[in-house]
Structure 1
Amino acid sequence: MKKNENKESSRLNRMKHFRFLHYILYGFLAALLFFLLFFHIRPETLDLDLFSVSDQTIYSPSTVEDEQATENRKREAVDEVKDQYVMRKDFSDNQVDLVASIFSSIAEVKAERDEKSKNEGSPPDDKTLIDSVKKQLTKDVNDALSDDIILSLLNTSNEELENVKDYVITTVNSIMGNEISIEEIEEAKNSVNKELKNYSIPSELQNAAVTVGRYAIIPNHVYDPKGTEQKRQDAADNVQPVQIKQGQILVEENQLIDREVYRKLQLAGLLDGSDLYRPVTGLLLLIGLFIAVMAYYFQKQDKPITEKNKSLLLYSLIFVITILLMEVISLFQQMDYRNTAYLVPVAMGGVLIKLLLDEKIAILSSIIFAICGSIMFNDEVTGVFNFVAGIYLLISSISGVLFLGKHNARAKILQTGLYVSIINILVMSALLFIQNTTQPGWEIGTNAVMCIFSGVASSVLAIGLTPFFETGFGLLSTIRLIELSNPNHPLLRKILTETPGTYHHSVMVANLSEAACEAVGANGLLARVGAYYHDIGKTKRPQYFIENQMNIDNPHDKLSPQLSKNIIISHAVDGANMLRNHKMPKELVDIAEQHHGTSLLKFFFYKAKEKGDRITEEEFRYPGPKPQSKEAAIISIADSVEAAVRSMHNPNPDRIEKLVRAIISDKLQDNQFSECDLTFKELNNIAKTLCETLQGIFHSRIEYPESVKQKVKQA
């Protein structure tokens, strides 16, 4: 069994070091998403014949424009537009000018006649005069005016002719000032006689004036081709496109599929599924966006390639499990089960990603899960996207991420699941009210049960899967740290029972380390648990360490400095080996191995020097390595500080601060922090935090009077 585990572990390690693993994982995720989502966005093709009877109610999968119906409506709108007419005001001016030109022509011939009569003594005859007038007028005017009318105007005086001219022009202008259609022309002409009766026109000229006036009246309300065309164009433009709405019933069950229904089915793409270019292109763009977000997050992490690969591999497994779980549940929807989206424990994915990776990518993944879910849980009515399911899944997953706190014990995860269940019910109710739909009471109750199941199942699955991921990837999650900090853990009980002094010292170091780590943004919980186990190696030879020498002589007094040095130094190596043998997380092993770094064992070094032994500093230094992380470095400081302050007589704030800074300065000068990323500013914050914590522990106590002390002793 162990051989198989070792093989699996070695395979995983090889995968983590594979340089192009992230490209393979991104490609795999993209291919999986495309495979799962394509079948949900692929246009449905129905095998239906014209004039057959539909065996099901068919809905439109998307919104499309019915161009033929739109054109029919535009044609109807154009046909309803009547011909447009316009009143031509210039016609009135033209006809007034016409009347004026008639009278001018008569006046001109009349003047020529009078001139000839004066010069020659005999005027021209009437026929000649009438012909002279007709020569100056158009054929239409000559046809309208008889010879008698022309002659009557020629025979009148100039003054009367001018008066009749003014009367006729005024009448024509007045009548032509109103709209006169073809149908109204006769009525308008008849009104000339009525108008002219208002003037004092000699009776012999009355007929001539009426005739000229009637002739001058023409229709001025005429057909407007441009206006008519514009009106028809406006009517066509105002017609809204006829659309077949998404979810609209195209044909009901047992309904005959006539030509119109068949045309709509064809228009909706239900009879021809060959047009896959658009949905496939859209799906590829969407998946590409998802992968780009993932790649941006993991590539910007300041980690070695092996750590990035491990994180991406872990993320991919959680992502795949969540997506496949959603897909499996979505299959029930095809079996006529409604609202199965409420059953999806989507919060599991967000919770696991936050527990094992990071909150930011957990929220981003929640958005991706929601979009994928809205596609997976679509139906004939909702079309390609089921926005109700998408909103529900989004809020459910994000609420799981947000409700999960920092110290995520299993009880906290279960509590988060209950909170998610409540949120799920509230979201389901809100969406139901917003849609303004009514459902039977039993259906609402069923939905509520599914919402509760979703939240509880999310927490149960997260708790159940977490140990597998932690073991497989060697992760040290918050839950694992909390479990390791339990005093009932076998190794902690071993420290407590076999080395009680070391246990007390470890607890003090844990308090100091946690406070200092939180002051500089390091993992305080990791530091606390690491401090609990950092001196586990002392359980091998407990009596050789001063905190465990209760009522016994110091055995080092009988040993050589070299042998004492070997015993003391070996506790770091022994502790790391013990932790490895118990399959403890690598981070705790590193802390046990690194908490003394390569520091010098000064007491025994100087003791050996005093004895005159020929030694070097390297012989009395810990083997290391130096602290590689902030947590290990802070524990090394807290370890030295706690031991030093505990040995002080009457510690006070000034002496404590002086000692703390001296220890940090000594380690700094000894290059013990050269392999971790602590800054001088962080070291200063660590010193301040340690001083504040130590002052709280070693605070000054009240000096009791001698009489009180005596009573206390007697008691």
Structure 2
Amino acid sequence: MKELLNKWYKNHALVYKMLLFLVTTLFIVYLFPKTGKFRYSFEKGKPWQSENLYAPFNFAIQKTQEEINEEQLEIENNAPVYFEIDREIPETIKLNYITKFNEVFNDSTTSKRTLFRQGTDMVETLYENGILDTDYPYSNDKQVVLVASNNTVEKRIEYRGLIEINQLRNRLESFLKQSTSAENKNKMISLFFDIVKPNVTLNETLTKKTLEEELSQISHTRGSIDKDQLIISKGQVVEDEEYNILKSLKSEYESQVWNTANYNWVLVAYTLLVALALLMLLLFLQKYRLEVFQNNTKVTFIFFNIALMVLLTTLVINYNSQYIYVVPLCILPLVLKAFFDARLGLFSHVLTVLLLGFIVPNSYEYMFLQIIGGIVTILTVSELYKRANLFISVGQITLIYIIAYFAFFVIHEGQITTLKWDTFGLFILCGLATLFVQPLIYIYEKIFGLVSDVSLLELSDTNTKLLKKLSNKAPGTFHHSLNVANLAESAANEIGANAMLVRVGALYHDIGKMKNPTYFTENQSNGINPHDELSNRESAGVIVDHVLNGIEIAKKYNLPDRVIDFIRTHHGTSVVYYFYMKEKAENEDVQIEDFSYPGPKPFSKETAILMMCDSVEAASKSLKEPTTTKINDFVENIINKQMESGQFLNANITFKEIQSIKKVLKHKLANIYHLRIEYPE
């Protein structure tokens, strides 16, 4: 048992990666839609590329959304409107009419009796169908159903049969005969305006309920295809009818086959494919990015971002697949490039797009757009810490999206008259969402403890608290660090290394000297050398300790590990040569390890560059009457000694790159000492 625990402890990093791999795979498979995947791909207006297709089972042909919309519109136009009529109001109006008429016309002439009969007829006519309580926006030929208060149907008429309030005066004037005097006509109109009340109101609940019932009866299918019936032949163009049949088959297949006998097998197949994609990522990291692979935090960060993009895309598809292009998938390569490099960012992006191809509609079109977008992201975004660069790159990415989508639309439709301009707006929204990468990088730095070029830019500011402290306590060391930073940045640019990282590393590489600043010659301004009072071993110990002190100070000020690496490695395992030779002259029995730095040796191009530049800059102060020849020999000797002692064996730097760095250092030192070209005599 103890041996098993020891073995597990030794391989805990690998066990963690296996668990991370398994959890991420299962999570992504869980997000996948619970449907099968139709094996054939087809496009309207394109030839059928596969063999003759026969129906594998009986299925119904689904109507297109346009057909369903047309049927819905027709039902809505023809559906009757239900109005509730009150039959008690007309009886009340008749009684009120008699009373009111006698009050207005109190004589007993023949014309009064005639006028009374006309008024009685008008009441009957007005309330034959009813008077509306307000005007409604229906056409005159709209079918209307009049119902009682208990929803029993009384009659069916057209909307023109009902009287609207604004029509009342015209109706009254047309009822009164021409022989009626103007005075009596006005009295009658005023009388009716006093007694008339609406008795017909819209029954919205019944109207809506009836309409919904009729809409629910719409059939979503038309006709059917029998098993083994030929659907389409090889080479046949997929026209509208064939396209609808193929879409119906695809929908039926994905809804039935998955949910019956093949559920478990399809689930296993999805798991295998997702696991295969993630395994390729792990193998890539192990082969080409070993440093990342060995860091579980970084591997977790990469897997987390891939799973996050799959999650966001799935949520959008479940809500409305039309908004699929709003998801800012290009954030993934941007983030990975900011923390790692472009190659890893693009590789992860392509794998993520391949995974999303299982769940998005029009997968080929989507994958093409996103892969092209990822490539453009990697090619255009440089120096992410410069805000203008990000805006320009996002604009270019959005433009590429729009151009590619336009090309696909023309290929599918063969015209641009039906172009969906709303989709262009989705691409613009996607571009705006991509700008969120800046605050996202800051959040990731705090959560995962990573460092990006944005943070490096902040650390390169010489007004930071730590660098100010260095300039006050050890001004000579601070000046030396500035010179080394300038040399290292130029060398990094020459060989294509991370110039920002090596500059920051150079600024902080000697912060350990703040603890005992006067023990280093660049800070000795009064001519007193404290080493005169120490033994050679003690002096060497003080010199070596500045590396360990620097690491301690860096951790206290929360400097990133990538910067601390420069403090650890800038002397490698080299020897404090001056005190070693001095001790050897006094005592031949001396151990070189007592005068050596603890290491480790530089393990990247950037840390190797710093070692060269630090040694050359520090030793250059001892040059007397420098000439071009002296400087060339001086640089060659120092760097060659470092190569001979194996200081660069762990760094992925080539002889050619080292020669380029030598050339830069010679040129820079010549400029520092204001040397001119030595002309032959």
Q: Cα offset for 1:349?
A: 1.6
Measured in 2, the distance between the counterparts of 1:238 and 1:435 equals 17
Measured in 1, the distance between the counterparts of 2:323 and 2:266 equals 24
- Please give the secondary structure, in 2, of the residue aligned with 1:300: helix
Measured in 1, the distance between the counterparts of 2:250 and 2:517 equals 86
CA separation of 1:237 and 1:554: change in aligned 2, threshold 3 A: closer
Measured in 1, the distance between the counterparts of 2:617 and 2:602 equals 21
Alignment partner of 1:352 is 2:338: no
Question: Are 1:355 and 1:478, in contact at CA under 8 Å, matched by a contact in 2?
Answer: yes
Residues 594-649 of structure 1, C-alpha deviations (whole Å, 9 max, x = no match): 32234333444556678x68984648624422423243343222212112223323
CA separation of 1:692 and 1:245: change in aligned 2, threshold 3 A: farther
Measured in 2, the distance between the counterparts of 1:376 and 1:642 equals 58
- Please give the secondary structure, in 2, of the residue aligned with 1:345: coil
Alignment partner of 1:478 is 2:461: no
Partner of residue 301 from structure 1, selected from 288, 295, 301: 288
Question: What residue in structure 2 maps to residue 455 of structure 1?
Answer: 431
Residues 326-363 of structure 1, C-alpha deviations (whole Å, 9 max, x = no match): 11111221xxxx62012111111222233234433433
Measured in 2, the distance between the counterparts of 1:447 and 1:475 equals 36
Question: Are 1:535 and 1:571, in contact at CA under 8 Å, matched by a contact in 2?
Answer: yes
Alignment of structure 1 residues 403-482 onto 2, 5 Å: 403-405=380-382, 408-409=385-386, 412-436=389-413, 444=421, 446-460=422-436, 462-482=437-457
Question: Are 1:414 and 1:456, in contact at CA under 8 Å, matched by a contact in 2?
Answer: no
Partner of residue 561 from structure 2, selected from 583, 586, 590: 586
Which structure has the larger Rg?
A: 1
Structure 2 residue identity aligned to 1:448: F
Question: Are 2:456 and 2:504, in contact at CA under 8 Å, matched by a contact in 1?
Answer: yes
CA separation of 1:530 and 1:616: change in aligned 2, threshold 3 A: same
Q: Cα offset for 1:56?
A: 5.7
Question: What residue in structure 2 maps to residue 339 of structure 1?
Answer: 322
Q: Cα offset for 1:656?
A: 0.7
Structure 1 residue identity aligned to 2:638: I
Question: What residue in structure 1 maps to residue 640 of structure 2?
Answer: 665
Alignment of structure 1 residues 258-297 onto 2, 5 Å: 274=260, 276=262, 283=270, 286-287=273-274, 289-297=276-284
CA separation of 1:53 and 1:421: change in aligned 2, threshold 3 A: closer
Alignment of structure 1 residues 47-446 onto 2, 5 Å: 55=217, 58=220, 70=230, 245-248=242-245, 274=260, 276=262, 283=270, 286-287=273-274, 289-301=276-288, 303=290, 307=294, 309-333=296-320, 339-378=322-361, 385-405=362-382, 408-409=385-386, 412-436=389-413, 444=421, 446=422
Residues 189-213 of structure 1, C-alpha deviations (whole Å, 9 max, x = no match): xxxxxxxxxxxxxxxxxxxxxxxxx
Measured in 2, the distance between the counterparts of 1:422 and 1:517 equals 33
CA separation of 1:554 and 1:342: change in aligned 2, threshold 3 A: same
Question: What residue in structure 1 maps to residue 166 of structure 2?
Answer: none
More helix by share: 1
Question: Are 1:626 and 1:672, in contact at CA under 8 Å, matched by a contact in 2?
Answer: no
Q: Cα offset for 1:288?
A: 5.2
Q: Cα offset for 1:309?
A: 4.3
Partner of residue 522 from structure 2, selected from 544, 547, 568: 547
Residues 360-418 of structure 1, C-alpha deviations (whole Å, 9 max, x = no match): 3433443344444454343xxxxxx4544444433333332332225655654454334
Structure 2 residue identity aligned to 1:499: A
CA separation of 1:538 and 1:298: change in aligned 2, threshold 3 A: closer
Question: What residue in structure 1 maps to residue 615 of structure 2?
Answer: 640
Question: Are 1:513 and 1:528, in contact at CA under 8 Å, matched by a contact in 2?
Answer: yes
Measured in 2, the distance between the counterparts of 1:274 and 1:484 equals 60
Measured in 1, the distance between the counterparts of 2:356 and 2:593 equals 64
CA separation of 1:66 and 1:392: change in aligned 2, threshold 3 A: farther
Measured in 2, the distance between the counterparts of 1:70 and 1:674 equals 68
Question: What residue in structure 2 maps to residue 489 of structure 1?
Answer: 464
- Please give the secondary structure, in 2, of the residue aligned with 1:339: helix
Q: Cα offset for 1:291?
A: 3.5
Residues 232-260 of structure 1, C-alpha deviations (whole Å, 9 max, x = no match): xxxx9999999974445999xxxxxxxxx
Alignment partner of 1:600 is 2:583: no
Structure 2 residue identity aligned to 1:458: T
Measured in 2, the distance between the counterparts of 1:407 and 1:238 equals 50
Measured in 1, the distance between the counterparts of 2:360 and 2:375 equals 19
Q: Could you list the runs of 5+ residues in structure 1 that have no partner in the other structure? A: 1-12, 74-235, 252-263, 379-384, 704-715
Measured in 2, the distance between the counterparts of 1:596 and 1:373 equals 48
Q: Cα offset for 1:658?
A: 0.8
Question: What residue in structure 2 maps to residue 152 of structure 1?
Answer: none
Measured in 2, the distance between the counterparts of 1:679 and 1:386 equals 43
Structure 2 residue identity aligned to 1:580: K
Alignment partner of 1:508 is 2:486: no
Question: What residue in structure 2 maps to residue 33 of structure 1?
Answer: 28
Alignment of structure 1 residues 680-691 onto 2, 5 Å: 683-691=658-666
Question: Are 2:579 and 2:595, in contact at CA under 8 Å, matched by a contact in 1?
Answer: no
- Please give the secondary structure, in 1, of the residue aligned with 2:629: helix
Structure 1 residue identity aligned to 2:403: L
Residues 31-69 of structure 1, C-alpha deviations (whole Å, 9 max, x = no match): 2332222325479x99999xx997567489xxx986665
Measured in 2, the distance between the counterparts of 1:14 and 1:474 equals 24
Measured in 2, the distance between the counterparts of 1:482 and 1:641 equals 25
Question: Are 2:575 and 2:597, in contact at CA under 8 Å, matched by a contact in 1?
Answer: no
Measured in 2, the distance between the counterparts of 1:239 and 1:636 equals 69
Residues 279-327 of structure 1, C-alpha deviations (whole Å, 9 max, x = no match): 6576456435524532442342362796164443222101011111111
Question: Are 1:544 and 1:554, in contact at CA under 8 Å, matched by a contact in 2?
Answer: no
Question: Are 2:470 and 2:478, in contact at CA under 8 Å, matched by a contact in 1?
Answer: yes
Partner of residue 17 from structure 2, selected from 22, 33, 38: 22
Measured in 1, the distance between the counterparts of 2:447 and 2:489 equals 28
- Please give the secondary structure, in 1, of the residue aligned with 2:288: coil
TM-score by length of 2: 0.61
Alignment of structure 1 residues 563-578 onto 2, 5 Å: 564-578=539-553
Partner of residue 533 from structure 2, selected from 538, 543, 559: 559
Q: Cα offset for 1:483?
A: 2.6
CA separation of 1:438 and 1:479: change in aligned 2, threshold 3 A: same
Measured in 2, the distance between the counterparts of 1:419 and 1:682 equals 34
Structure 2 residue identity aligned to 1:345: P
Q: Cα offset for 1:506?
A: 1.3
Structure 1 residue identity aligned to 2:288: Q
CA separation of 1:237 and 1:588: change in aligned 2, threshold 3 A: closer
- Please give the secondary structure, in 2, of the residue aligned with 1:483: helix
Measured in 2, the distance between the counterparts of 1:439 and 1:416 equals 30
CA separation of 1:527 and 1:330: change in aligned 2, threshold 3 A: same
Q: Cα offset for 1:452?
A: 1.9
CA separation of 1:509 and 1:392: change in aligned 2, threshold 3 A: same
Q: Paired residues, what number?
A: 496
Q: Cα offset for 1:541?
A: 3.5
Question: Are 1:561 and 1:605, in contact at CA under 8 Å, matched by a contact in 2?
Answer: no
